Amino acid sequence: MNKTRVGIINVTGYVGMELARYLQQHPHVELVSVTGRSAAGKRLGDVFPHLAGLDLTIQTELGDVELAFSAMPHKESAAVVAPLVERGLKVIDLSADFRLKDAGQYPAWYGFAHPQPPLLADAVYGLPELHRRQIAATSLLANPGCFPTGAILALAPLVKAGLISDDIIVDSKTGVSGAGRGLTLGSHYAEANEDTTAYALEGHRHLPEIVQELTALGGEPRVTFVPHLVPMARGILTTCYATPKETTGREGLRQLYRDFYKNEPFVRVVTAPPHTKHTWGSNLCLVYPTVDARTDRLVIISCLDNLGKGAAGQAVQNMNLMLGLLETAGLEAPAVYP
């Protein structure tokens, strides 16, 4: 079987770099082209020694590929993705530029007017657990954000079944790589180590994405989303709180989740609160649903690697679907623990 030729735009960021790691071990695709502004002309293995097994030089322009991943920052990504789509390439965009269906949301949440509103209608939101059939048929895939992946997977079974009232709280803790590789004051070791803080309380950019997908499942969810930065390299732990419309037993709740995710290769309903370390380097999302019996409140915890199921792993899962490959190809390796 001929391997499909794929490329990464912006291999020099954390997401592009992690994509290269997954693609190196993929049995049915070959990574043949990688781009990167600051490291153009350098060997990939010189920039990232753990990727020295890939015989590639970082270029300024994408080479001859059949499928491209864009790991560009938002706004910049739309500019490079649109011409590739016009050329007929399959494209997976890991930025937020094609995730929101309503172009009118981009100025408020991302600070730019969307340059290609018609493409938003063509783009498929790449959460396989909700949109597998549409993903397999699309040429333009909007890979979900890291926080939204954890929040939506935690809440989807309840929202779809119409079992909770509209008020939902999503409390997330993320590691520092979620902010990317660029230097910012908040990601300096002396600032982030042994520190924890909430941020973006006035409204995080991932909020409209969470609301868009939950609304499509039913109801009119009113979501309070509060992210926190915690001192670890990778991982997102999300705790969701919701009020059931009727008293729900713990076992019935768990059965609902087990049924919803029973055929999903990368979502595991677990029987104890999960740790971010249980997902490091993998495409897993672990979900733990329970009930606070004193208040009747539902508490749903999800956990994933922001660079795995939250970005590059999920992009490879989507690529497998778009190319008609086994969905789990290249993603079977277990998490790294501890």
Residues 190-249 interacting with ligand NAP (rule: CB under 6 A): none
Active site residue 146: yes
Minimum distance from CB of 184 to ligand NAP (Å)? 9
| Most distant pair of Cα atoms in the chain: their distance | 61
Binding mask 109-148 for ligand NAP (x = CB under 6 A): ------------------------------------xx--
Which residue among 146, 240, 285, 303 is the active-site one?
146
Calculate the CA 202 to chain-centre distance: 22
CA distance 266 to 310: 12
Q: How far apart are CA 253 and CA 251, in angstroms?
A: 5
Torsion angle of alpha carbons 124, 125, 128, 131, nearest 10°? -60
Q: How far is the CB of 309 from ligand NAP (least distance, A)?
A: 10
Report CA torsion sign: 127, 129, 132, 133: negative
Q: Out of 33, 48, 65, 95, name the contact with ligand NAP by CB under 6 A.
A: 95
> Tokens 């993320």, residue?
174
Please pick, from the candidates 3, 37, 50, 245, the single residue that binds ligand NAP as defined by CB under 6 A.
Answer: 37
Q: Which of 34, 85, 91, 94 is the binder for ligand NAP (CB under 6 A)? A: 94
Q: Is 72 in the site for ligand NAP (CB under 6 A)?
A: yes
Q: Could you give the CA distance from residue 7 to residue 91 in angstroms, rounded to a whole number?
A: 10
Beta pairing class for 297-304 and 285-292: antiparallel
**Closest approach of Cβ 198 to ligand NAP, in Å?**
18
* Residues in 293-312 that interact with ligand NAP by CB under 6 A: 306-307, 310-311
Q: Looking at beta carbons only, is 16 or 221 nearer to ligand NAP?
A: 16
12 touches ligand NAP (CB under 6 A): yes
Q: How many residues bind ligand NAP (CB under 6 A)?
A: 30
Select the residue interacting with ligand NAP from 8, 20, 23, 71 (CB under 6 A): 71
* Sign, Cα dihedral of 98, 99, 101, 104: negative
- Three-state secondary structure string covering 249-279: CHHHHHHHHHHHCCCCCCEEECCCCCCHHHC
Q: Which residues contact 114 (CB under 8 A, 6 or more apart)?
A: 78, 97, 103, 106, 120
> Left if phi > 0, otherwise alpha if psi is -120 to 50, otherwise beta: which for 75?
left
Using the contact rule CB under 6 A, the part of the chain among 90-98, 126-134, 156-164, 320-328 near ligand NAP is 90-98
* Nearest distance from C-beta of residue 57 to ligand NAP, angstroms: 14
CA dihedral 206, 248, 256, 169 (to 10 degrees): 10
Contacts of 116-120 with CB under 8 Å at 24 or more apart are 116/78, 116/82, 119/82, 119/85
Nearest-approach distance from CB 315 to ligand NAP, in angstroms: 9
Regarding 265 and contact with ligand NAP (CB under 6 A), the answer is: no
Q: What is the tally of helices (H) and strands (E) in the chain? A: 11, 14
Q: Which residues contact 54 (CB under 8 A, 6 or more apart)?
A: 20, 24, 31, 44, 45
Rank residues 71 and 321 by Cβ distance to ligand NAP and give the closer one: 71
User: Given candidates 76, 166, 191, 264, which one binds ligand NAP under the rule CB under 6 A?
Assistant: 76
For position 178 contacting ligand NAP by CB under 6 A, the verdict is yes
Closer CB to ligand NAP, residue 18 or residue 327? 18
Cβ 78 to ligand NAP shortest distance, Å: 10
Q: Tell the smallest beta-carbon distance from residue 297 to ligand NAP (Å).
A: 29
Active-site residue numbers? 146
Residues binding ligand NAP (CB under 6 A): 10, 12-16, 36-39, 71-74, 76-77, 94-96, 145-146, 177-178, 180-182, 306-307, 310-311
